[in-house]
């Protein structure tokens, strides 16, 4: 293996656990590898700023170079990886300032999303939203992991975006969520009580929506985003301080 700083290398100890996750389910190989590497990034097994070297990822997963390159392109599209000239693929690492700016925009867009959902959603959308919320609640109460909680939250957002009926808003929020994926995961995992608190915040949103109270729904959504931002950015600052120490 080429000599390089340890912080820039994939941890060899992860090889058996990553490879063993591939081939267990009846899904396309590329999809399985994408899921495995996405999970490794969102759970910080691959740290922000860490290089993802193709040769080492091939060894870790046991798949072809073509598959790895396709997966890295998809991860880049999701905002989890970026390509740096002369360095290759690197896990995205936002600065505190960038994170604060993104959450500021997210607060505005999601407040608007809540208002628009109230004014445009059908009764069927309300039923779908309640079902999505109940699923999220069950995941959290059963002790689901960070990724499982994120998937359940994404399903709830999908209903909100569908009911809001604004394709431009969907595109903007999808891109924004991709850029803050690591922060969302960090927010949920930085405090053991955060998933349950998140459920409480979103319960307020769902109840306001069901009552067709746009102002209250927007306020609940804004409070949810602010709470997530506070924890996510605090976790970033704490990580930066630990690296300095």
pLDDT in tens, the chain (245 residues): 333 333 344 444 444 456 666 655 546 888 999 989 988 888 778 988 899 999 999 999 999 999 999 999 999 988 889 999 888 999 988 888 998 999 999 999 999 999 999 999 999 999 999 999 999 999 999 999 888 999 999 999 999 999 999 999 999 998 888 778 777 877 777 778 999 999 999 999 999 999 999 999 999 999 999 999 998 888 788 765 444 33
In order of their start, the domains of the chain are 6-91 (1.10.10.10), 96-244 (1.20.120.530)
Q: Is 68 exposed, middle or buried (0-12, 13-18, 19+ CB in 10 A)?
A: buried
Q: Is 72 exposed, middle or buried (0-12, 13-18, 19+ CB in 10 A)?
A: buried
**What pLDDT digit, counting tens, does each position of 90-131 carry?**
998 888 899 899 999 999 999 999 999 999 999 999 999 999
Instruction: For residue range 31-50, list pLDDT tens digits in order.
Output: 999 989 988 888 778 988 89
Q: How far apart are CA 37 and CA 45, in angstroms?
A: 9
Q: What is the pTM of this model?
A: 0.74
Tokens representing 141 are: 């109460």
Yes or no: say if 45 and 11 are a contact pair by the CB < 8 Å rule: yes
Q: Which pLDDT does position 9 carry in this prediction?
A: 43
C-alpha dihedral, 22 to 142 to 192 to 42, nearest 10°: 20
Q: Mean pLDDT in the chain?
A: 86
Q: What would the two tokens of residue 76 be? A: 């880049």
- Distance in angstroms (rounded) separating the CA atoms of residues 238 and 25: 38
């Amino acid at each position: 293996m080429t000599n390089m700083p340890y912080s820039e290398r994939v941890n060899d100890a992860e090889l058996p656990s990553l490879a063993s996750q591939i081939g267990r389910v009846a899904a396309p190989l590329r999809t399985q590898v994408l899921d495995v590497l996405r999970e490794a990034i969102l759970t910080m097994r691959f740290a922000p700023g860490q290089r993802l070297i193709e040769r080492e990822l091939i060894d870790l997963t046991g798949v072809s170079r073509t598959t790895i390159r396709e997966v890295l392109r998809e991860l880049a599209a999701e905002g989890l990886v970026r390509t740096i000239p002369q360095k290759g693929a690197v896990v995205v690492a936002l600065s505190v300032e960038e994170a604060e700016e993104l959450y500021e925009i997210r607060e505005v867009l999601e407040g608007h999303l809540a208002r628009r959902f109230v004014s445009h959603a059908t009764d069927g959308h309300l039923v779908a939203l309640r079902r999505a919320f109940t699923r999220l609640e069950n995941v959290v109460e059963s002790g689901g992991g960070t990724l499982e909680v994120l998937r359940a939250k994404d399903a709830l957002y999908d209903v909100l975006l569908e009911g809001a009926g604004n394709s431009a808003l969907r595109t903007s929020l999808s891109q924004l969520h991709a850029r803050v994926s690591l922060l969302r995961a960090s927010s949920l995992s930085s405090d053991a009580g955060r998933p349950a608190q998140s459920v409480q915040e979103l319960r307020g949103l769902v109840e306001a929506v069901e009552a067709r109270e746009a102002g209250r729904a927007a306020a609940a959504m804004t409070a949810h985003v602010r709470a997530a931002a506070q924890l996510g950015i605090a976790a970033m600052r704490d990580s930066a301080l630990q690296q300095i120490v």
